[in-house]
């Protein structure tokens, strides 16, 4: 990677992090002022209007994939692959940093906003505060950092495209499943995506800068 390409990537990561943080701040203000009800009700009406037994089974599957135990199992598998098989220690640190930091950030934000979950049409049970969605944040962080780490080792544009489509689909479906099942408002999901997007992007920025400094020091 040339110096100019790296500089462009760093600038892009910083810009994305800042943009997502601004977006989250905007959603958070609307949630705090209770000015997001019309948006939430419109999306809920569309998503829950599609309800059917088959779709409910699919949505329960995606919400399960985004829950604590499956996320922990996937994380441990990635940990093993990065550490034992590929010996990518620094990539492992980034992975742990992103996934763990996202969970801590979500817990903190939930305590700050204290938003109650929707109760009108709930298909499954869920506890705790609603904003931002923990499933959405975990999905964005987990599949986002996996996509980033795999992207670095893929050279063909076709495979990269498939990677982005698959990771984006997983993130989106997990988020939508929370709305469909009646345990989150759409603004919870959108806020979760934006919060994790900001966290992931700034983490990648720090990682890339660290990598560049190491390369510079070795070349001196």
pLDDT at 119: 85
- Span 152-158, average pLDDT: 86
Token readout for 39 is 């948006």
For the chain, the average pLDDT equals: 91
Whether residue 151 contacts residue 120, with contact meaning beta carbons closer than 8 Å, is answered with no
**Is the pLDDT at 53 greater than 80, yes or no?**
yes
| Confidence (pTM) | 0.91
- Mention every residue, 6+ apart, whose C-beta is less than 8 A from residue 202: 13, 14, 17
């Amino acid at each position: 990677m040339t110096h100019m390409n790296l500089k462009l990537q760093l600038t892009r990561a910083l810009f994305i992090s800042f943009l997502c943080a601004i977006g989250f701040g905007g959603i958070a203000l609307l949630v705090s002022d209770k000015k997001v009800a019309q948006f939430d009700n419109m999306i809920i009406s569309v998503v829950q209007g599609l309800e059917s037994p088959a779709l409910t089974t699919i949505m329960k599957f995606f919400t399960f994939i985004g829950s604590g135990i499956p996320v922990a199992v996937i994380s441990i598998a990635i940990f093993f692959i990065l550490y034992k098989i590929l010996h990518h220690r620094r990539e492992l640190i980034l992975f742990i940093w992103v996934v763990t930091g996202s969970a801590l950030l979500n817990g903190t934000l939930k305590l700050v906003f204290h938003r109650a979950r929707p109760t009108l049409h709930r298909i499954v049970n869920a506890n705790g505060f609603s904003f931002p969605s923990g499933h959405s944040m975990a999905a964005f962080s987990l599949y986002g950092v996996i996509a980033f780490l795999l992207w670095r080792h893929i050279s063909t544009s076709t495979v990269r495209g498939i990677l982005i489509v698959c990771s984006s689909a997983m993130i989106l479906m997990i988020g939508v499943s929370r709305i469909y099942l009646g345990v989150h408002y759409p603004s919870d999901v959108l806020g979760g995506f934006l919060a994790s997007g900001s966290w992931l992007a700034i983490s990648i920025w720090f990682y890339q800068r660290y990598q560049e400094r190491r390369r510079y020091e070795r070349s001196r």
